[in-house]
């Protein structure tokens, strides 16, 4: 009883969010000019922050192996490119990914906890998580129970996150809020605070299955939650916008926002990720364009 009281108290201190004000602030990030050298650095940085993702019912070992090869060999014709930060797959594909990426420093992320709906029991979610970690996942992307959250059962959601965190062991935990289902920015902020307090290593916007996903407004609100927590405790929490970020420009706008809100400490793959499947090729296209001055046809970049 005592603990639940303090959680409610903590959440009630979360200030409300004014949507119009957020939109205006976010628009400013989009007019910052990133060119030439800064742009090249930003593009490479974004490339190295990608969680290359396949989360489909029709995923097979073949598909996952091919994507893993791409993750480690983004565009070998161009020297000194980073690899992506991680691959993100279903638990049943973790072992395939692990074997495919032997010898590489690419993290293996796995969704768990009855992804994407989260509509299952805690026991099954814990088992799901432990299975993924046992198969070799180094990062777990869990979903919160949005239904419970919208019912106001914050303690349930808190305990669930804390239990999954425990089940993760050494694997880092990313907590997906599925902001498209939370609808309001006030809810996004509240869920961010809740996830952070419950022990999230990262907070993540979306599963990619629901629209809208990682809008800049939502990411902004989550970054502010991370900032307030850091200012209060000195502890860093990572951020992962996922879903809907498919262009270099949008990726750079996101990095500008991270830099202006959280600062350069967050500008690396330990603390910031993009969850995306098609972003990598757009960035590669921009990198080659920046280098040669000419856009190359999409067929010069591999699809895996």
C-alpha span between 258 and 256 (Å, rounded): 6
- The verdict on 25 binding another protein (CB under 8 A) reads yes
The helix/strand/coil state of 280 is helix
Give CA–CA dist 12/279, Å, rounded. 37
Q: Which is nearer to another protein, 234 or 264 (CB)?
A: 264
**Please, which residue, 120 or 259, has the CB nearer to another protein?**
259
Q: How far is the CB of 199 from another protein (least distance, A)?
A: 16
**Region of 37-45, 50-58, 92-100, 243-251 interacting with another protein (CB under 8 A):** 37-45
Backbone angles phi, psi at 238, to 5 degrees: -85, 165
Does 9 sit near another protein (CB under 8 A)?
no
- Out of 11, 32, 148, 153, the only residue in the binding site for another protein (CB under 8 A) is 32
The reply on whether position 45 binds another protein by CB under 8 A is yes
Q: Residue 18 interacts with another protein (CB under 8 A)?
A: yes
Report the alpha-carbon distance of residue 50 to residue 44 in Å, rounded.
Answer: 10
Tell me the per-residue interface mask from 195 to 234 with another protein, x by CB under 8 A, - otherwise. -----------------------------x------x---
- We find the least distance from the C-beta atom of residue 71 to another protein, in angstroms, to be 17
35 binds another protein per the rule CB under 8 A: yes
Q: Applying CB under 8 A, does 39 fall inside the site for another protein? A: yes
Interaction between residue 21 and another protein (CB under 8 A) = yes
Residue 129: C-alpha distances to residues 73, 106, 112, 164, 166 (Å)? 29, 20, 5, 7, 10
Per the structure block, which two tokens stand in for 198? 């419950």
Cα separation, 47 vs 302, whole angstroms: 15
Conformation bin of residue 103: beta by default, left when phi > 0, alpha when psi is -120 to 50:
left
CA dihedral 240, 303, 133, 44 (to 10 degrees): -40
Residues that bind another protein (CB under 8 A): 15-18, 20-22, 24-25, 31-39, 41-42, 45, 48, 172, 224, 231, 255-256, 259-260, 263-265, 267-270
């Amino acid at each position: 009883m005592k603990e639940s009281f303090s959680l409610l108290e903590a959440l009630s201190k979360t200030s409300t969010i004014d949507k119009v004000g957020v939109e205006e602030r976010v628009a400013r990030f989009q007019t910052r000019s990133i060119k030439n050298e800064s742009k090249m650095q930003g593009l490479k940085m974004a490339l190295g922050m990608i969680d290359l993702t396949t989360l489909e019912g029709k995923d097979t070992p073949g598909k996952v192996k091919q994507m893993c090869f791409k993750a480690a060999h983004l565009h070998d014709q161009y020297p000194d490119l980073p690899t992506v930060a991680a691959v993100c797959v279903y638990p049943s594909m973790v072992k395939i990914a692990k074997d495919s990426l032997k010898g590489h420093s690419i993290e293996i992320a796995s969704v768990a906890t009855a992804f994407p709906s989260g509509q299952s029991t805690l026991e099954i979610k814990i088992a799901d998580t432990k299975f993924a970690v046992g198969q070799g996942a180094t990062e777990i992307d869990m979903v919160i129970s949005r239904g419970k959250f919208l019912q106001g059962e914050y303690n349930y959601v808190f305990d669930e996150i804390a239990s999954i965190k425990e089940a993760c062991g050494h694997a880092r935990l990313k907590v997906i809020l599925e902001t498209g289902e939370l609808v309001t920015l006030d809810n996004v902020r509240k869920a961010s605070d809740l996830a952070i307090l419950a022990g999230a290593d990262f907070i993540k916007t979306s599963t990619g299955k629901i629209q809208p996903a990682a809008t800049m407004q939502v990411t902004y609100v989550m970054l502010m939650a991370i900032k307030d927590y850091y200012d209060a405790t000195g502890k860093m929490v990572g951020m992962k916008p996922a879903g809907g970020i498919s262009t270099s420009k949008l990726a750079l706008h996101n990095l500008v926002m991270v830099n202006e809100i959280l600062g350069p400490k967050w500008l690396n793959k330990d603390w910031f990720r993009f969850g995306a499947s098609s972003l990598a090729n757009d960035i590669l296209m921009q990198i080659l364009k920046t280098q040669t001055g000419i856009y190359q046809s999409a067929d010069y970049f591999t699809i895996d």
